[in-house]
Amino acid sequence: MKFYKETKAKITEFIKKLNIKGKKAFEIRKKALEIFPENLVPKLGAIRARIYRLKKKNQIECSDGFKGAREISLEIRRLIIYLQLSQKLQTKEFKVKIDMGYVWRRARAMPNLNLTKKRQRKEFANRYISYSFKNFVLADETKIEINTFPLYHFRQKTSKPVCVGTREKSSLKINILAAISYKGPTRFCLFTNNLNQYSYKYILDFYLKPYMISNFNEEELESCYLIQDNDPKHTSNLCPEFLRENRINWLKTPANSADFNPIEMLWSDLKSYVRKKQCRNLSELTETIRSYERNLNAEKCTKYVRNLKKVLNIVADKGGDWSNQMNRNFFLIKRKKIKLTNSRTLKIFLII
């Protein structure tokens, strides 16, 4: 059976190569009969059908294998964007705007903080500002999307326009849920469906619980806190009950307080890593995420967790308003820097 599959794969590759060289179907079959067993070589009609499918996919031979029309189109558009930005950088108008204090960045939106939310954020910051966070586990989820074409704008540094983005109604996606602490990261849980209380309990049982048991002793577990937001699936009766049964303390952050969870900086770093790899398909994206997970260590996680104390100090001083740390790390405002990879990110929601 194994020999049969390997031979059929070799015949398929053989047909591709001869088709690229311009050979006709009967010529391909004749040459194939000289190399492979007759009972495995496709009939003339089957070879013609394969040649038709190859032409339909617009496959061409390149130095690094086969490339489709879509991939060639992406490369051409990427080159056009590069040339346009190169010409823009050399214009006098661009240099004058940079000197006047303009920044080149994407239009981003952030949640609105009313007086009640600011008060809750300030109380939270004052309550936990003296903690060391060595026994804190910070969990959250994110979504990876590739192949988007964001708009970049010239804005004054202090301008805050209303930003309304667009999104496709239905698309493939990959969600990632993980947690970090001074001990290091948990395993990345990859899923594609919408998370509910039952699936979240499953993740707690098979991802978070083993991590807590293996990294914290009984004394540390008593003073250990799991930090997560006030998402409905987190606050449902099922999940808090599971945490109580396993002696895991849960600490809920105020609403619209992404800057209170340093794992957001990890997600930002992960998405930058994925953009640089320019993933085109499911296998490449999966391997990229797993590669980042393998290289993630406790030292990097500790650096992120330590940053929480700085954020709490800033929020407490600003009366519960957004911290500067959040604006810099989470919204990624790049000043006087233009990265072409950001103008050609990929946008395919993939399924694991």
The predicted structure's pLDDT at residue 37: 80
What are the tens digits of pLDDT across the range 7-38? 878 888 888 888 777 788 888 888 888 888 88
Position 350 confidence tier, pLDDT thresholds 50, 70, 90 = very low
Residue range 179-220, pLDDT digits in tens? 999 999 999 998 878 888 888 899 998 999 899 889 988 888
pLDDT at 161 over 80: no
Structure token pair of residue 113: 């903080």
Amino acid letter, 116: T
Q: Is the pLDDT of residue 71 over 50?
A: yes
Residue 289 predicted with pLDDT over 80: yes
